[in-house]
Structure 1
Amino acid sequence: MIDIFKRNLKIKTISIFFAFFMWIYVMAEVDPIILKDYDQIPIKINNINILQENDMVLYPEPDLNAKIILRGRRSLIKQIQKNDLYINTNLKPPKIGVNKLDLDLDVPSNISYTIMPNNISLNIEKSIYTKKEIVIKTINGSNKDLKVDEISYSPKSTFIEGPKSLVENVDKLVCKVDLKNKSKNFNSKAQIIPVDKNGKTVEGVNIKDQYTYVDIGFTKTKKIPLILNLKGELGEGYKLLGYELNSKNINITGKIDEIEAVNEIYTQEIDISNLKENKNINLNINIPQNINSDIKSVNVSFKVAKLISKNLTIPSKRIEYKDNIHNLDISKNNLPDDINVKVTYTEENGKDITEKDIQLFINMQEKDTHPSKFRIKYNVLDEVENVQISPEYVVIGE
């Protein structure tokens, strides 16, 4: 039996070596060793909770990704999916400032790897929690007649949390409320924004309340007429020629619903019964409750004239008969020789009305009775208050 193995020993040895090298060749060609790199492989800090336990936080937020290169047989590398890969690291007892962590990759032992970089530096800050007041800021308030009167909101403050350097950079919490196209009271939900002293948003802090609920109340300004509140009448023999307020309108300001209900405002009441001459008087204005105005009093200037009554006698022969279209005999009239005329006019410097200033006439086109009866009319050169003629009518026989 042993002789069989000893026969052609040389040939058999050569065959064995040839088969071995052929196996090596086939393995190298069919399942070669390859390199494969993977970008953006996540780094997992296994004991990250230790930061929260010690009131610490990573800041600035690190890029917890790295590149890896795997080396191994193609058949093995091919089985590895990128989603299955993650890099491990652990925090040593953390400290404020820079902490250096080594990186490790969990892969089969017959696969080698390279991590780029092979360690990371993390900055750790103290995590602080503090309370800040909320400030409401209105924008786009372009309506000049409306002004914000009342702002109520809830909550008025809230807590912010984050890295010490960021939280200390927060000057205040601002909520912006847009007034564009607003014409009445309204409520709104406004986002809370942390800002620094320059008004720039501070990113990276956590806010307990994301919103505050705001109620905005407006006051409205409106121009309305100012009216003189007169009482009584001037005594006999006097006439009120007119009056003038030094302000004919008034601007009032108040809550919208109250302002809308007011369309005019009166001065305090003034009795003119005893007014007998031109006079300037200061009057208070009756401003409704809860409403403000740009003026509180007004000056009124009264112009008063004394009335003069004068009895005149005008010969009837001075009456002018106009448009005698019916050819009536005007000599057949019932008029007396003299016509009594009482004229009333306002007293003015140098003004005096006489018989010469008044012309009496009859319009004979106005015949409508039999016998014909006509009203005696007048023209006067100056403006008068009243003219009374006696007799009032003339009858002309046909």
Structure 2
Amino acid sequence: MINIFKRNLKIKIITICFAFFMWIYVMAEVDPILIRDFSNIPVKILNMSTLEENNMIIGNNSNLDVKVIIRGRRSLLKDIQKSNLTIYGELKDIKLGENEVDLNLDAPDNITYTIIPDKLTVNIEESMYVKKYIGVDKVNKLKENFKVSNISISPQYTYIEGPKSLVEKVDRLACKLNLENKGENFNTKEQIIPLDKNGKKVDGVNVKDRYAYVNVKVYKTKEVPLKINLKGNLDKDYKLLNYTLNPKNIIISGDPKYIDNIEEVYVEEFDISSLNEDKNVDLKINTPENIYTEIEKANVEFDISKIINKDFIISKNRIVFNNNIHNLDISKNNLPENIKVKVAFLEELKEKITNEDIQLFVNMQENQQIPSKFEIKYNIPYDVESVIITPKYVVIEE
């Protein structure tokens, strides 16, 4: 009986050992131990509220990503994804500057892990909260002959928050506004971007309002001539030689339904009756209703000259008789010894016109009467205002 029991015990032990080794074999083949690694796992800081209460924030130059290596049975690891891994740490004795954080991982039982690195050095900075107005950076161009009249943006300002070192880099907030091929009013929703002095985006800064609504008013433009109406008359002793408007043309803008009907624009009317010398005058531009210009006034330059009246005495012997086709006796004329020639000319010619410049002549083909009467005419090598010859006619007795 005892022998039978001993024999059964040995068999049981052998059976158990065999079963154990078979279990090990099966586990090794069916559910082996695996090693998996995950990179760039973000670290969660548990006591962020403590930082906020002390007006502190984690600096942008702090690396909060780590690598994790986990080891366990395939059956345990098969459902673990990167998103399932939560690595956390807690800041202690917080101070501005560098702080060390010990890291831990929430992992299922029977799984071992290694965090690389197992400690993080976190840079703590003062937190800043600043109000900034929002601008617009225009890119591309509108359709030809169109311009932006007005841009309104909502909200007009917002707040930025972040590490002091980054917030201080932000020079302005801007929305990029694409104008390409636009030819009418439009609205758009654009992202608000923090920019430095060089126009580059500043990363790591939180903008309270991510987007702004931009309303753009677009006008059509047109170049038209600028004109003036003059009233009054100069004194008889003065002459308006010329006047010049500067600019000669202006750019007007407005809604196409108004712009298309405008062909010219006038400045305010000007009275020239008191002018007696050259003068520059700034005059208001009378823009039609619903039409706009970039300038409000135009300059008008008046060129005024005084008129000089001078009497010249010409001997009758200097009169030339042309085309005496009827062979009249020219000596039988009724002319006095001297002919009076009154010439009106511009002041600029005062030192130029002389007695010798005045040539008198009679064209005997023009008028035949009995007795023959002919008009005395003149040649002067300058542009003059008027000439009065006394006597005006010469009579030749037959």
Taking structure 1 as the reference length, the TM-score comes to 0.58
Shift of 1:70: 1.9
Q: Distance in 1 between matches of 2:282 and 2:21?
A: 118
Task: Provide, for residues 84-127 of structure 1, a one-character-per-residue CA deviation record: whole Å limited to 9, x for no partner.
Answer: 22223333454332222222222222221212222222222222
Q: How many residues align?
A: 341
Matches within 5 A, 1:27-106: 27-60=27-60, 62-92=62-92, 94-106=94-106
Q: Does 1:118 align with 2:123?
A: no
Q: Does 1:244 align with 2:244?
A: no
Task: Provide, for residues 360-396 of structure 1, a one-character-per-residue CA deviation record: whole Å limited to 9, x for no partner.
Answer: 22699xxxxxxxxxxx9979563686898799xxxxx
Pick aligned residue for 1:270 from 258, 273, 287: 273
Aligned to 2:281: 285
Q: Distance in 2 between matches of 1:92 and 1:349?
A: 109
Aligned to 1:301: 305
Query: CA separation of 1:181/1:264 partners in 2, compared to 1, >3 Å: closer, same or farther?
Result: farther
Query: CA separation of 1:104/1:13 partners in 2, compared to 1, >3 Å: closer, same or farther?
Result: same
**1:172·1:195 contact (CA, 8 Å) conserved in 2?**
yes
Shift of 1:172: 5.4
Aligned residues: CA RMSD: 6.0
Q: Distance in 2 between matches of 1:201 and 1:83?
A: 29
Query: CA separation of 1:230/1:9 partners in 2, compared to 1, >3 Å: closer, same or farther?
Result: closer
Q: Does 1:346 align with 2:349?
A: no
Query: CA separation of 1:223/1:45 partners in 2, compared to 1, >3 Å: closer, same or farther?
Result: same
Shift of 1:194: 4.7
Matches within 5 A, 1:180-191: none
Aligned to 2:145: none
**2:224·2:252 contact (CA, 8 Å) conserved in 1?**
no
Shift of 1:46: 3.6
Taking structure 2 as the reference length, the TM-score comes to 0.58
**1:33·1:72 contact (CA, 8 Å) conserved in 2?**
yes
Aligned to 1:276: none
Aligned to 2:379: 382
Q: Secondary structure at the match of 1:110?
A: coil
Task: Provide, for residues 127-158 of structure 1, a one-character-per-residue CA deviation record: whole Å limited to 9, x for no partner.
Answer: 222345678899999xxxxxx99999887765
Query: CA separation of 1:136/1:303 partners in 2, compared to 1, >3 Å: closer, same or farther?
Result: farther
Q: Distance in 2 between matches of 1:252 and 1:150?
A: 27
Shift of 1:281: 1.9
Q: Secondary structure at the match of 1:28?
A: helix
Aligned to 2:362: 358
**2:333·2:394 contact (CA, 8 Å) conserved in 1?**
no
Shift of 1:358: 0.8
Task: Provide, for residues 1-53 of structure 1, a one-character-per-residue CA deviation record: whole Å limited to 9, x for no partner.
Answer: 76643346656654544444344334334433222222233333344333333
Q: Distance in 1 between matches of 2:152 and 2:248?
A: 24
Q: Distance in 1 between matches of 2:36 and 2:354?
A: 119
Q: Distance in 1 between matches of 2:187 and 2:74?
A: 66
Aligned to 1:128: 128
Comparing 132-141 and 80-89, the one that deviates more: 132-141
**1:225·1:248 contact (CA, 8 Å) conserved in 2?**
no
**2:282·2:298 contact (CA, 8 Å) conserved in 1?**
no
Matches within 5 A, 1:145-160: 158-160=158-160
Counterpart code for 1:349:
T
Q: Distance in 2 between matches of 1:251 and 1:156?
A: 37
**2:151·2:214 contact (CA, 8 Å) conserved in 1?**
no
Q: Distance in 1 between matches of 2:47 and 2:131?
A: 29
Task: Provide, for residues 308-333 of structure 1, a one-character-per-residue CA deviation record: whole Å limited to 9, x for no partner.
Answer: 899x9x9xxx7648xxxxxxxxxxxx
Q: Secondary structure at the match of 2:51?
A: helix
Counterpart code for 2:364:
L
Q: Secondary structure at the match of 1:165?
A: helix
Give ranges in structure 2 of 5+ residues lacking alignment: 142-147, 255-261, 287-294, 327-331, 345-352, 381-385
Query: CA separation of 1:227/1:108 partners in 2, compared to 1, >3 Å: closer, same or farther?
Result: closer
Q: Distance in 1 between matches of 2:95 and 2:139?
A: 45
Q: Distance in 2 between matches of 1:217 and 1:7?
A: 105
Q: Distance in 2 between matches of 1:103 and 1:21?
A: 39
Q: Distance in 2 between matches of 1:132 and 1:226?
A: 48
Shift of 1:197: 5.8
Counterpart code for 1:35:
I
**1:267·1:285 contact (CA, 8 Å) conserved in 2?**
no
Query: CA separation of 1:97/1:15 partners in 2, compared to 1, >3 Å: closer, same or farther?
Result: same
Q: Does 1:231 align with 2:227?
A: no
Query: CA separation of 1:256/1:182 partners in 2, compared to 1, >3 Å: closer, same or farther?
Result: farther
Q: Distance in 2 between matches of 1:16 and 1:174?
A: 77
**1:223·1:249 contact (CA, 8 Å) conserved in 2?**
no
Q: Larger Cα Rg: Structure 1 or Structure 2?
A: 1
Q: Distance in 1 between matches of 2:68 and 2:248?
A: 76
**1:225·1:250 contact (CA, 8 Å) conserved in 2?**
no
Identity %: 40
